[in-house]
Structure 1
């Protein structure tokens, strides 16, 4: 659902290695580059929940999507209202900040982003968890605050549990476990959230 909505494969711009696996276990989730209806965000967050008992079954997802197919073009339903509201905001965003909704979609895939199964060996992989504000209502899978927090990797855990390829990270000039490049957040995401909180005033579901 994430890739269909935003047009980008999740984690397409980072190396798919042990470090990414640890980040995901610590709560890292992909972020949308556009505003997404809250009902859709809620379903995606359920699918990405660290607790497998909270994830919907394939049958439940099918039933939800079937119901949405009848509501998507009806602006009297809650989903229809949210779609119209999201489209109005997305249409006013700068084109270069929303590549997924422009006609000429173009993005750079990391050379070590691999979307086929591969074995990652860990001695002590941490138990998966959600971010502290994962269940709060917002129009993105993960907030900017949670994104920054989930990028903080425990030094000892990384050293014991993973053997990453250091070639993609700036350890030489950086005391942190990840490079400053990894912590950079697209300013369009910040402005989008600010615009949403200041001018939308939408009703939370």
Structure 2
């Protein structure tokens, strides 16, 4: 349908409109006028995403969505800094198609199931909050497979801002590990870790480093996984993939645990976990951040491992890696994943202020893992294999 305009000039560029709603130079006026979030910085951010695609409306942009266009809101998760809801976006995402002579036509949209992330205490949205929202937007722009970001709205009662996101229809990775751990083979774990590292690479290119990266923040939509927040360390997630258990599930999450982690305590691994996998995880959890692998190094290692596991190898190196992980597969059915958690083991984002913590150090066990790398072990990482020999995965 075409929408008609009663105004003569575009308020953004002050150029005359044609006889339809659209300004050829700018954008559909209905997306940029007649609304405000109540915060000028937020308004400017949303409108700039629209202006940035004015020459190519096949691109993506954010929308300000009136709260009354959201229905069937249900709380599905809660963290220390936000609440997450499922909901129906009644109008669905706006889409347009350019017609002859530069006239834009609004296409029919469908109701869409979405996730709403309400930011606690965001009534007067701070620069820090807005920077995090902008970061998610930039990650989505840089990687089309990232969790889709549709728009922003506001709770009319609490005045808190809410981001409108793609709904992960299969829950988070913690749920999937809890329900299906004994059926997930090592090739699937390695492939998933490889895909997550790809997301981390995009984040690192934008100078973002993960602060809340854990299984509860990895969402699944059909066959794709998305990182919804960033944190902890990649090595901790690797350990959880191995054991099927949340890290430090049997400990109070308090000052005592913080001391032990600084002194080298690390999450447990599952029975039969390959030593090369443990070593890579321990590298990620190294007390010295300068000695941790980069996201690019992780990508190459995991890509090589996955290629070796699924490939028809003729080289000894590929055969050895495949044999290591196939042997580990035989232990998976024997790993017990039912466990009780300490009532004070809380898996939501929280701020802690601990004074006089010791300088982080590696335990003697971790040090032995990191120092016992013989030449053959280094080869097993695949670091010496030229990227030209690695197939796409």
TM-score interval (norm. to shorter) = 0.5 to 0.7
Secondary structure, counterpart of 1:49 in structure 2: coil
1:52 maps onto 2:264 in alignment: no
- What's the CA shift string for 1:100-152, capped at 9, x where partnerless? 3xxxxx322222212222222222110000012323249xxxxxxxxxxxxxx
CA radius of gyration, larger in:
2
Q: In structure 2, what is the Cα distance between the partners aligned to 1:80 and 1:135? A: 26
In the alignment, the residues of structure 2 paired with residue 49 and residue 6 of structure 1 have an alpha-carbon distance, to the nearest angstrom, of: 19
Q: Distance in 2 between matches of 1:122 and 1:137?
A: 29
Q: CA deviation at 1:24?
A: 0.3
**Pair 1:111-2:343 in alignment:** yes
In structure 2, what is the equivalent of residue 68 of structure 1? 305
- Which residue is 1:41 aligned to? 278
* Aligned residue in 2 for 1:86: 328
Q: Which has the higher contact order (CA 8 A, sep 6+)?
A: 1
Picking from 70, 74, 77, the partner of 2:319 is 77
**1:120 correspondence with 2:352:** yes
In structure 1, the gaps of 5 or more residues are 101-105, 139-203
State how far apart, in whole Å, the 1-side matches of 2:244 and 2:366 are: 23
Matched, 1:18 2:255: yes
Taking only aligned residues, the RMSD between alpha carbons, in angstroms, comes to 2.4
Q: Which residue of 2 aligns with 1:28?
A: 265
Q: Which runs of 5+ in 2 are unaligned?
A: 1-237, 371-375, 378-393
- For the 8 Å contact 2:250–2:345, the answer to whether it is kept is yes
CA contact (8 A) 1:39 1:79 kept: no
| Cα distance per residue 1:32-68 (max 9 Å; x no partner) | 2311112211110101100001111122212221222
Distance 2:270 2:297 in 1: 27
Confirm or deny: 8 A CA contact 1:38 1:82 kept in the other structure: no
- Secondary structure of 2:368's aligned partner: coil
**Distance across 2 between alignment mates of 1:4 and 1:13:** 17
Structure 1: how far apart are the matches of 2:352 and 2:290? 24
Given the alignment of the two structures, is residue 130 of structure 1 paired with residue 362 of structure 2, yes or no? yes
- Compute the TM-score of the two structures, normalised by the length of structure 2: 0.31
Q: 2 CA distance for matches of 1:137 and 1:84? A: 22
Q: Secondary structure at the match of 1:63?
A: helix
Give the equivalent residue in structure 1 for 2:206.
none
